[in-house]
Amino acid sequence: MKNTTTVDGYYTDFKNPAVRNYEQRKEPSWGGRTNFNIKLYRHRHTLDINAGAELQTGLFNTQVSKNKNGERDTLQTNDDIKTITSGIYAQISYTYNNHLNIFAGASTNYTKVSIKRLSNYPVVAQTKNYQAEIAPRFGIMKDWDNHYYFFVSVSRGFSPPTTAELLPSTGVISTDLEAEEGWSYESGFRGFLFKRALHIELTGFSFKLEHALVPRRDNSGADYFVNAGDMTQRGLEFHADYTKKSGSGIFKQFFISSDLSMNHFHYGSFIKDGSDFSGNKTPSVPAFTASLQLNIDYAKGFYSNAGYYHAAKIYLNDANTAVADPYAILNLKAGWKKKMKTGITLNLYAGVENLLDETYSLGNDINAAAGRYYNAAAGRSAYFGLIISCRK
């Protein structure tokens, strides 16, 4: 049996001269966590018990001013935000012969947020309590000969809005937002073949999310959030990678990996401000993505890398009336790496990004007003560099 207890503190001083305002945040926070672990062994049986509690609190100040040529101007809002988050958890895990693992656990948490707008008089605190929710989880994993693994898990999650969501860049205090919550179901397979040179993973998931937080952007360019009714997220993910090493010849090591994902994310019942988005596809999530990575190490320290990524069309608003076109990105890189007897290592490289000169938007603004969804990414570009490192 053992106990691990930690006490932590953080401080953030953040300045953001944005398009419509100048934001400055000071965010000190502190907290602690204690965890008790008990392990029991008998022959091929292992019982692992974890239980503990944690507490986190912060006292933040956020000031939003007008932006005048990148400098702070007239103060618009001045807010003090106090947050308290606490929780307890427990999990028990049973393992048989190191090949079968069954676990069950649960956690509960409580969050309280209080916001005081000091720039308005009289000063009144707006408070939101997110009551404790039980979040259970169950799972089982089985492996055969340490080469093939199969797992199934079921869990429930509960996530209150963040401070940035409760107090977005619009300056409007949004204590009416509800916490997100939902059930998640996941199952998958993982295998190793050809003396573990080939690694394959296949995972399927289904997640039903209630009170989903959806971003929006108003005419002035400010972000804010609303609760959607419910959202269903289903998907299938595939990963494979293969590594081949050679002790002699031109090729020293060959590595290739591929990732595929198919997503079907859509709203259930979602009606907002008289608009019915029920059944629509969830914006910002492509229905299909594919990536391929190839790394080759040659003799004499030479190497090359190639990366390819493809994304299907992406809906940009809840109404599904705005769409970003599919795009494909190809990147190439080559270099030479040499370690000297003196301990100095040289790494000379050059590459091309977006070799196909694809026109696409990266980091789309979802649900932006006036059709301002797109942030144009760079076209074809080239680079080169030299890294010199020294180790004694």
Residue 343 pLDDT level (bands cut at 50, 70, 90): confident
Residue 23 in this model has a pLDDT that exceeds 90: no
Interior angle at CA 121, CA 116 and CA 124, nearest 5: 35
Q: Give the 3-state secondary structure of residue 248.
A: coil
Nearest-CA neighbor of 35 among 101, 106, 91?
Answer: 91
- What tokens were used for 204? 């399927």
For 32, other C-beta atoms within 10 Å of its C-beta total 14
pTM of the model: 0.79
Give residue 38's identity as a one-letter amino acid code.
I
Please, what are the domains in the chain? 1-148 (no CATH), 178-392 (2.40.170.20)
Secondary structure tally for the chain: helices H, strands E: 1, 22
Mean pLDDT on 28-48: 95
Residue 1 pLDDT level (bands cut at 50, 70, 90): very high
**Residue 78 to residue 94: CA distance in whole angstroms:** 52
| pLDDT on residue 29 | 95
| pLDDT on residue 120 | 85
Whether 180 contacts 209, CB under 8 Å: yes
How much is the mean pLDDT over the chain?
Answer: 91
What is the enclosing helix (H) or strand (E) of 163? helix 163-166
**Residue 264 to residue 261: CA distance in whole angstroms:** 10
Residue 220 pLDDT level (bands cut at 50, 70, 90): low
Interior angle at CA 266, CA 265 and CA 270, nearest 5: 145
Residue 169 in this model has a pLDDT that exceeds 70: no
**Residue 217 to residue 219: CA distance in whole angstroms:** 7
- Tokens 């305002």 — which residue? 21
| pLDDT on residue 140 | 97
User: Which has more pLDDT, 165 or 114?
Assistant: 114
| pLDDT on residue 98 | 83
pLDDT tens for residues 249-271? 788 999 999 999 999 999 988 88
| pLDDT on residue 18 | 78
Whether 154 contacts 137, CB under 8 Å: yes
